[in-house]
Structures are given as C-alpha cells and as structure tokens.
Structure 1
Amino acid sequence: MEVVITKLHYIPYIGAASGVVGILTSYAIAVSRGDVEPWLPYISDAGGDPPQSSIFCFSMILVALCFLVGCCICYLIMVVTNASQNTLVKWLSRLIPLAGLGCSAGMVLLAINPVGTVRRDGTWLLPIFLPHIIGAVGMFASGISLMWILALCNYILDYGAWKPSFYLRCLIATVGIISGITTIAFCPVHDAQKLAPLPDSTRMYPDGIIVSTFSEWVVVLTFMVFTLSFASEFRKFKLTLKLDYIVDPNSSRAPLKPAAGSPAETSLKEDPPTPPN
C-alpha cells in the first residue's frame, strides 16, 4: 500500500493558526473575566485560569505536534537537497528532529502546567511555576537552536545564491534571541512568588515588568512566523508512505497481494489450487 501526501504546507499553516487562535481566544476570555489586565499580560497568565486554560493547553499541544512533524519533514528535505553530501550539513540536519522534539516537549510541559493553578496546600512556586518555566526555557533554547541550524544549512547549500528563506530565518532567529533574553532579563525570577495568582483579584505585576511581557509576546509571535516559514519549502515536496507486508515463513496466514486494478490497495488472496496432472 502506498500513500502520497502532497499538501505538506498545510502542516505549518495548521500549527501557526492553532497557536494564534488559541492565544488570542485565551487572552480575550481572560480579559473579559477579569483574570488579567488588558494591557500586555504574560501569555501564559492569560491562558492560566479555567476555562481558557483548556483552550490554551489544547492549542499549544496541537502546535507542538505540527511543529514536531514539520521538523521531521524538514530533516528529510535536508537529506534530499544535500546532493553534494556536505558533511557539516549532514550532521547538522540530524540535530533538526532533536531540536524539534525539545521545542515541542517544552511547549507541552508549559501548557500542562497552567500558572493560574495552585496546589491544595496553597503552594505554587515549585509544583507549578518551576516546571512551567523549565518548559518555556526548553522551548526557547531548542527553537532558537533550530532556527540557527536551518539558517546555517541554507547558507551552505545555497552559497552565493541565498533564497529569501535564508534571510527570513536569520531575521527571525535574531529577533527571537534578543526578545527571549529580554523576557528573562526583565522578569523577576529572583522573586517569582510576586507572579503568583491572587485568589480574589486580577493578577497584579510588579513595576517595570512591561518590557518582559512585551518581549514574551514578540517571542511567541516570532515562533509562529518561524513555523509559517516552512510552508514555502513544504509546497515543493511530496511525502510518499509505503507499507509492505513482511512475510513470516512460520505463519499460516496467506500473503498480501495487490488488488486487481488498484496497485495502491492490498487484499488477501488465496493461491488457486494446482490442477492435478
């Protein structure tokens, strides 16, 4: 059985659209319910309280899935386009699925630990905030690494005739790393308890945090644009999946044979009995 997938560019479209819709929907619900102030809360705070936390979590998991699949396809594309068998590109391309896995795992980890949750005993910092921030840092570090890996591979493979995707990824990586560092630098991680949710009021931030919250929005939107950057390349390729039946010599099951008139389908057919001589 053989399956040919030609609409690969839908994968980054679905991932980016899911992320943007999930974030904006969570933000709108959070503001309307008074969970956060309208002016630039942290995205994770906007999606940290129910019911919007379920929307935020689902959308981030969907983005992570699309991103991981996209990175695996991107690795296969690098293998195909590396016709010169450049050794550096060969080894760098092997890091693409690993970086995609790290970024996707970090995205899921921060999504399943919504910062609006408080344990039954009232603790928040270690059981909720710590895994959330570990996921965020993992997503950021893996994502930025992936951006530079792809930019370097484009630099080597298209040397002297760089495509717009090379310049776009260099710009995205530069903006991403600057805004990511700014997010961490202006976040009061040394006194993170100030970011804990309040039981009976809108979440309040300490003074001077606006730079950090603004930078976080830039980081996330940069990742959405980075996800979309795969679409132009995916449009040029198709993925063929082929499933073959491995015949077990010790099995009594009849072997699979192609169905008549359809080479892409399989069916079970018994060999006709041999007529007696």
Structure 2
Amino acid sequence: MFWFMQGLCFLPVFLVIWSSSTFIVTYIIALFRQDVDIIFPYISDTGAKPPESCIFGLMTFISACAGVATTYARYKFVEKLSEETRVVRPCLNKSALMFGMLSCLGMCIVATFQETTVTIAHDVGALLFFVSGVFYISLQSFISYCAYPFGSSIIVCRARLGIAIIAALAFFPTVICASFVKQTELHRDTQDKDYPFQLASAVCEWIVAFSFICFFLTYIDDFKLFTLRVKTEYEE
C-alpha cells in the first residue's frame, strides 16, 4: 500500500496539493494574461477577471470542501483520542471544529463573490477565512500539546505552534496595511503613496495563506493512523 493510501492520509495530502495549485495556477494565468502585476498581487487579484476568476472560484470551492472533510476528520480523531485518554476537553475540540468550518465558509464566500464585483461580500468572506483560520490552527496547536504524547510527536507539536505564530503575526499587518490602501485597481504604480502598504499587505496575505497549507501538512502522519466509517441504521 502506498503511504498516501494509509488511513485518511489522502485528505490532507489532497487539500495541500489542491490549495497550493489553486493559488499558483490562477497566479500564472493572471500573469500570462497581464491581468496583475508580477510582484505580489493580492491572492484575490489573481482571480478577479475571467477566465482565471472561473478557475479560481471552482478550485477554491473544492478546497473548501476538502477543508471541511479534513477538519471534521481531525475533530473525530481528537474525540476518539480523548475518549481513551481524557487529555483534551470536548469543548476545546468542538471550538476548533467550529472555527475550521467558519474558515471553510469564508473560502466559499471568497470563491463565489469576486473582489471587483461584490467587494464587501468578498472582503467579509476573506476576513472570516483568515480570522477563523488563525484561531483554528492556534487551537489545534494547543490541542496537540494537550494530547502529547498520545497524539503527535513533540517535533510536530512545535512545528504546528511555530506555523500558528507565523500566521498570527502575519495576519495583523495584512489587515492593518490594507486599511491604508485607497485604490483597488489590479495594476498599481509604484509611485503611489499607498503602494508600500498594499505590497506589505499582499506579502503578509500570501504568508498567512501558505501557513495554513503548511499546517495541514503536519496532519499527514496523524491521518495515517485512523479511518472513518459511516453507520446506517434503518428504523421501521
């Protein structure tokens, strides 16, 4: 059996590969069509115009669905682990699940409402995605330490904590710098007064997004250890 076929390992593997491809493919297409500038546009800028907007919307929605499946599988894994060891409080596990689902909902909103079409809805979705995502990986990092040594190794726990810290630190300049950006054009002049703020915000946005991807990479070994089964009961 291949390593990615063990347990539910394919879930985080697919999520990481597909999400990375979503950002990279739409970025390359947008550059090829000269719809965005070469140096660090916002992620949403790469999916603002068709045809890349169609690809971005579809691939982001699939990523959100994969995120829901992965988040729920992680929740059930921690729940089962807690039943046997009592190392993680159920309310903490449920809170992490809630933030994970909210983050995926934010992704769906971002995929549905393009930045240049329905800006307010898009921004709300992006904020929901990033805020909930940071809370989710922070809670999962704490849960990992609570479950140690029954869950992940100490190296994985530290890796998750480090990624969560990077994501949290990068999130604040993403929002703060974005508040100083007055223009919303896809092509910017480097001489604009607010250009440095947009560049800093965009760079930090990419850091936060790929921090989430790196965090799900750490799930791979855990997901090799378990499977989920659906039980059907028929009531007459």
Cα deviation digits, residues 109-131 of structure 1 (max 9, x gap): 112111133xxxxxxxxxx1211
| % identical equivalent positions | 23
Contact persistence 1:113–1:131 (CA under 8 A): yes
Structure 1 residue 51 and structure 2 residue 51: aligned? yes
Partner SS for 2:234: coil
Which residue, out of 224, 227, 244, partners 2:233? 244
**1:1-277, aligned counterparts within 5 Å?**
7-82=7-82, 83-86=84-87, 89-117=89-117, 128-158=118-148, 163-187=154-178, 189=179, 192=182, 194-196=183-185, 202=187, 206-208=194-196, 209-246=198-235, 248=236
Q: CA deviation at 1:227?
A: 2.1
> Root-mean-square deviation (CA), in Å?
2.1
Give the TM-score normalised by the residue count of structure 1: 0.75
The letter of the residue matching 1:171 is G
Q: How far apart are the structure 1 equivalents of 2:223 and 2:153?
A: 18
Instruction: Count the aligned residue pairs.
Output: 226
> Which 5+ residue runs of structure 1 have no aligned equivalent?
118-127, 249-277
Contact persistence 1:8–1:238 (CA under 8 A): yes
Cα deviation digits, residues 44-95 of structure 1 (max 9, x gap): 0011110001111111111111111111111111111122324x62210111
More strand per residue: 1
The structure with the larger Rg is 1
More helix per residue: 2
Contact persistence 2:188–2:195 (CA under 8 A): no
Q: CA deviation at 1:6?
A: 5.3
Give the TM-score normalised by the residue count of structure 2: 0.88
Runs (4 or more) in structure 1 with deviation over 4 Å come to 159-162
